Amino acid sequence: MQKDTSPVAPPVPLATNTTMGGGWQASASGAPSKSETGPRTFPKAHQRPSMSKVILRAVADKGVRNRVSLVALKKAVASTGYNMTRNSWRFKCVIQKLLDSGMIKQVSGRGYSGSFSLGKEQAKKIRAKRRQQRRRRSGQRRSGQGRSGQHRSRVGSKQGQKQLFKGVRRAAKGRRK
């Protein structure tokens, strides 16, 4: 009895693997099935802002000169949907990264604990944004009429005339004294 030592040929794929999207084999007819033709779509997971953005927003909302404790930052991050028992190591890394980059500064405490406020660069950016918002608001008032809807409705009415007359009388009374 002799053993057969001839090499075995590798199995031939039904279609090329590169055209069919990686290790998937095509059907027996060679044509791709409906599920393999289009791009695969997955249901979108709940999108939440990055942890560093949440931390910066929490510190910025407090103000430039005010400080935020570590516990308050953890609560802010947890309120956006992060599980803080699982992601406490990530939170530490993000805090350290923000401290190293100068976006926030540690006002009190050592290491990971204490309270934090905005760094100089971030404070400048936030001040500039607030100035722009104020300018936009004041520009909207100038473009429209200066009075709110309540006062505007009184201008031609009898009640408006009474208010006007009352103001004139008060002014005249003040001059008499």
Instruction: Give mean pLDDT, residues 78-100.
Output: 93
Helices 51-62, 120-143: inter-axial angle, 10-degree rounding:
70
User: What pLDDT is recorded for position 4?
Assistant: 63
Whether residue 79 is predicted with pLDDT greater than 70 in this model: the reply is yes
Bigger pLDDT: 166 vs 34: 166
Range in 29-43, 75-89, 138-152 with the lowest mean pLDDT: 138-152
Whether residue 21 is predicted with pLDDT greater than 70 in this model: the reply is no
Instruction: Give mean pLDDT, residues 116-130.
Output: 83
Measured in whole angstroms, how far is the alpha carbon of residue 141 from the centre of its chain? 29
Whether residue 9 is predicted with pLDDT greater than 80 in this model: the reply is no
Instruction: Give mean pLDDT, residues 64-83.
Output: 90
Residue whose structure tokens are 């699982």: 86
Residue 98 pLDDT grade (very low, low, confident, very high; cuts 50, 70, 90): very high
Instruction: Give mean pLDDT, residues 18-26.
Output: 53
Helices 70-79, 88-101: inter-axial angle, 10-degree rounding:
120
Half-sphere exposure of 74 (CA within 13 A, CB side): 16
Whether residue 93 is predicted with pLDDT greater than 80 in this model: the reply is yes
Bigger pLDDT: 176 vs 131: 131
User: What pLDDT is recorded for position 92?
Assistant: 93
User: What pLDDT is recorded for position 70?
Assistant: 92
Mean model confidence pLDDT for the chain: 75
Question: pTM for the whole thing?
Answer: 0.49
Q: What is the pLDDT of residues 25-37, one digit of tens each?
A: 555 666 666 555 6
Residue 144 in tokens: 């429209």
DSSP conformation letters of 40-57: P--PPPPP---HHHHHHH
